[in-house]
Amino acid sequence: MFTQTERIIALRNLRPKKKQGFLKIISLFSFLGIMLGVAILIIVMSVMNGFRSDLTDKIIGLNPHIIIQLNKENDVEKIKTKLLKKYKNINISETITGEGIILTNNKAKGILIKGINEKDKMKSFLNKEITKGSLNDFSTGRVMIGGELAFNLNLKIGDKINIVSSSFIDTPFGSIPKQDNFIIAGFFNSGFYEFDQNLIYLELNDSKSIFDRYEDNVDLEIFLEDPFLAEKYKKEIGTLNQNIFISTWSDTNKSFFNALKIERNVMFIILTLIIIVAAFNIISGLTILIKNKTKEIAIIRTLGLSENSIIKSFFLTGFTIGFLATITGVIFGVSFSFYIDEIRNFLSMVFGINIFPSDVYYLEKMPSEINPLSVSLVFILSLVITSLASYFPAKTISKMRTTEALKYE
């Protein structure tokens, strides 16, 4: 593609003379700008991909893949039988979910209460996330709470707590909220800060009682082998019964994932501008170089080197800067992304600040997922930008007149 002569000229252009020190500075800034742009873009994309993947895994693990809300007209057992007959590879469990307040040690905290059937507890995420206590102790009159919630309220296993629900009962003194006492059976740690400080689990009959729900007034949770097929199942299940409300894990968190997607796209556009700005340095550098080399270009054209070869040699000069900067940026970005949590811990220790607070970002460690497709996209995009930035200045050589350049020589 490039002849030896063209490569030699490009190499000489990359090593300007001492009196052309300004060109060295422009070339250096071009290299550093593109390298940092590529590296930062890869790092940000990796963190955003990791953030989305980790949150998706947490949400899928903590939430049912499909939720069916029933009313008095629905026969729970009939619907369960119909679903299990149609779909052999799903798990169905009964649940009741609502809001309440936990009262203990002169403290109060708003919480989300989730009822779970005792026979389903071994299949739930609790079976893998218990940090203290035993799931075998989780039964009627006992409760499992998040470790963060226990820490905030200074609770330990065996403590008695009072839970006030959002349901009211009529008394001679008026309507008052239902409440009951429970004993803490254990703590769980989901790795999702927001859940661990707000969620508690009751046995299903206890949740029916505290929310004043009748015997069959429960919701159904469906767990699939592939959570990403939830929308397909939702449409099929909706045709079986028109008197039920169906939602999926993606419906529940739709606004959150849309926000993540928009943020990721905006960050990609903004950080791409860094590469474009750095590419302008290549344009200015090559333009100055061509201007300074006008006489030399005229001489080598007189000696027989074609105009196309000269254009290619100057294009190769700019492209080499962009290519090397892109390769260096990819290596730096991938390496930084791979060790990003270790780097975060080091910087937090040195400067004494929490760079990635879990109460803000919902995760205990900084995530990173190096996606080869994203890295390839950044690599190709950088090469395209630097190619264009190298081509247009080099193309101006075609407008140069040899006789004018050598007129006063």
What is the DSSP secondary-structure string of 313-332? HHHHHHHHHHHHHHHHHHHH
Check whether 360 has a pLDDT greater than 60.
no
Q: What is the pLDDT of residue 29?
A: 78
- How many residues would you count in the chain? 409
User: Residue 113 gets which letter from DSSP?
Assistant: E
Check whether 161 has a pLDDT greater than 70.
yes
Query: What average pLDDT does range 65-80 have in this prediction?
Result: 75
Could you tell me which residues come within 8 angstroms of residue 82 by beta carbon, excluding any fewer than 6 positions away? 240
Q: What is the C-alpha to C-alpha distance for residues 277 and 371, in angstroms, rounded to an integer?
A: 25
Going by their DSSP bridges, the two strands 142-146 and 199-203 should be labelled as antiparallel
Q: What is the pLDDT of residue 327?
A: 92
pLDDT band at residue 328, thresholds of 50, 70 and 90? Answer: very high
Query: What average pLDDT does range 46-72 have in this prediction?
Result: 77
The percent of residues in the chain predicted with pLDDT above 90, rounded, is 1
Q: Lowest-confidence range among 142-146, 293-297, 349-353, 400-404?
A: 400-404
Check whether 152 has a pLDDT greater than 80.
yes
Q: Lowest-confidence range among 77-81, 144-148, 191-195, 319-323?
A: 191-195
- Classify the C-alpha dihedral 360-61-82-232 as positive or negative: positive
pLDDT band at residue 408, thresholds of 50, 70 and 90? Answer: very low
Query: What average pLDDT does range 47-54 have in this prediction?
Result: 80
Query: What average pLDDT does range 287-315 have in this prediction?
Result: 71
Q: What is the C-alpha to C-alpha distance for residues 44 and 40, in angstroms, rounded to an integer?
A: 6
Could you tell me which residues come within 8 angstroms of residue 348 by beta carbon, excluding any fewer than 6 positions away? 354, 355
Query: What average pLDDT does range 381-408 have in this prediction?
Result: 72
